[in-house]
Chains A and B, each alone.
Chain A
Amino acid sequence: MVVQALKDQGVEVVFGYPGGAALPIYDEIFQQNEIQHVLVRHEQGAIHAAEGYARSTGKPGVVLVTSGPGATNTVTGLTDALLDSIPVVVLTAQVPTFLIGSDAFQEADTVGITRPCTKMNWLVKDTDMLPKRLHEAFHVATTGRPGPVLIDIPKDVQFATGTYTPPAKVVEASHYKPRVKGDPDAIQELVEAIETAEKPIFYTGGGVINSGSAASQLLRELTDATGFPLTSTLMGLGAYPASGKSWLGMLGMHGLYEANMAMHGCDLMINIGARFDDRITGRIDAFSPNSKKAHIDIDPSSINKVIPADIPIVGDVAHVLEDVLRIWKARGRKTNREALAKWWKKIEGWKAVNCLKFKNSEKTIKPQYAVQRLEALTKGMDRYITTEVGQHQMWAAQFLGFEDPNRWMTSGGLGTMGYGVPASIGVQMAHPDALVINVAGEASWLMNMQEMGTAIQYRLPVKQFILNNERLGMVRQWQDLLHGGRYSHSWSDALPDFVKLADAFGAKGIRCDNPDDLDEAIKEMLAYDGPVIFDCLVEKHENCFPMIPSGEPHNKMLLGDDKAEDAIQGAGAALV
Chain B
Amino acid sequence: MNALHIKKGSTKHSAYNLRPTFSDVEEKHTLAVLVENEPGVLARVIGLFSGRGYNIESLTVAEVDHKGHLSRINIVTTGTPQVIEQIKAQLGRLVPVRDVHDLTVEGAAVERELALFRVQGEGEKRVEALRLADIFRAKVVDSTLDSFVFELTGSPEKVDAFADLMRPLGLCETARTGVAALSRGT
Residues of A in contact with B (beta carbons under 8 Å apart): 111-112, 115-116, 119-123, 140, 144-145, 175-176, 178-179, 183, 186, 189, 299-301, 303-305, 308-312, 314
With A301-B92, A303-B89 already in contact, 20 other A-B pairs whose C-beta atoms are closer than 8 Å: A111-B40, A112-B43, A116-B51, A122-B38, A144-B93, A175-B36, A178-B93, A300-B13, A300-B15, A301-B86, A301-B90, A304-B18, A305-B86, A305-B89, A308-B1, A308-B22, A310-B1, A312-B15, A312-B16, A314-B15
B44 within 8 A of A: yes
- Pairs across A and B, CB under 8 Å, 19 listed: A111-B40, A116-B47, A122-B38, A122-B40, A140-B95, A175-B36, A175-B98, A176-B95, A178-B93, A179-B13, A186-B16, A300-B13, A300-B14, A301-B89, A301-B93, A305-B89, A308-B21, A310-B2, A314-B16
Q: Which of A116, A145, A183 contacts B93 (CB 8 A)?
A: A145
A304–B38 alpha-carbon span in the complex (Å) = 30
Among residues of B, the one whose C-beta sits closest to the C-beta of A185 is B16
Q: How many A-B residue pairs have CB under 8 A?
A: 65
Q: Is the CB of A314 within 8 A of B1?
A: no
Contacts of A175 on B, CB cut-off 8 Å? 36, 98
A526 and B82 alpha carbons, distance in the complex (Å) = 52
B51 to chain A: which residues have CB within 8 Å? 116
Complex interface residues of chain B between 151 and 176 (CB less than 8 A to chain A): none
State whether B16 touches A183 (Cβ < 8 A). Answer: yes
Contact: B40 with A115, CB < 8 Å? yes
Contact with A along B12-43 (1 / 0, CB 8 A): 11111010011000000000000010111001
Hey, which chain A residues are within 8 Å of B82, CB to CB? 304
| A299 with B93, Cβ < 8 A, contacts A314-B15, A314-B16 known | yes
Bound CA span A300–B43, Å: 22
In the complex, whether B102 has a CB less than 8 A from a CB of chain A is no
CB distance from B22 to the nearest CB of A (A): 8
How far does the alpha carbon of A317 sit from the alpha carbon of B178 in the complex, in Å?
Answer: 41
Instruction: Say yes or no: B40 contacts A123, CB within 8 Å.
Output: yes
**Chain B interface size range:** 20 to 34
Q: What residues of B have a CB within 8 angstroms of the CB of A309 in the complex?
A: 15
A14 to B120, CA, bound (A): 66
Does B96 lie at the interface of the complex (its beta carbon under 8 Å from any beta carbon of A)? yes
Q: Which of A178, A300, A303 is the most central at the interface, judged by chain B CB atoms within 10 Å of its CB?
A: A300
Chain B residues with CB below 8 A from A186, complex form: 16
Q: Which of B78-134 contact A (CB under 8 A)?
A: 82, 85-86, 89-90, 92-93, 95-96, 98
Partner of B13, one of A120, A311, A314: A314
CB distance from A289 to the nearest CB of B (A): 14
In the complex, residue of chain A having the shortest beta-carbon distance to the beta carbon of B91: A301
Determine which of A119, A121, A122, A304 lies in contact with B15 in the assembled complex, contact meaning CB atoms within 8 Å. A304
Q: Which residue of A lies closest to B51 (CB)?
A: A116
Q: Which residue of A lies closest to B95 (CB)?
A: A120
A121-B40 contact given A300-B13, A300-B92, A312-B16, CB 8 Å threshold = yes
**Chain B residues in 8 Å Cβ range of A176:** 95
Instruction: Determine whether the beta carbon of A300 is less than 8 Å from that of B40.
Output: no
Question: Looking across the interface, which residue of chain A has its beta carbon closest to that of B90?
Answer: A301
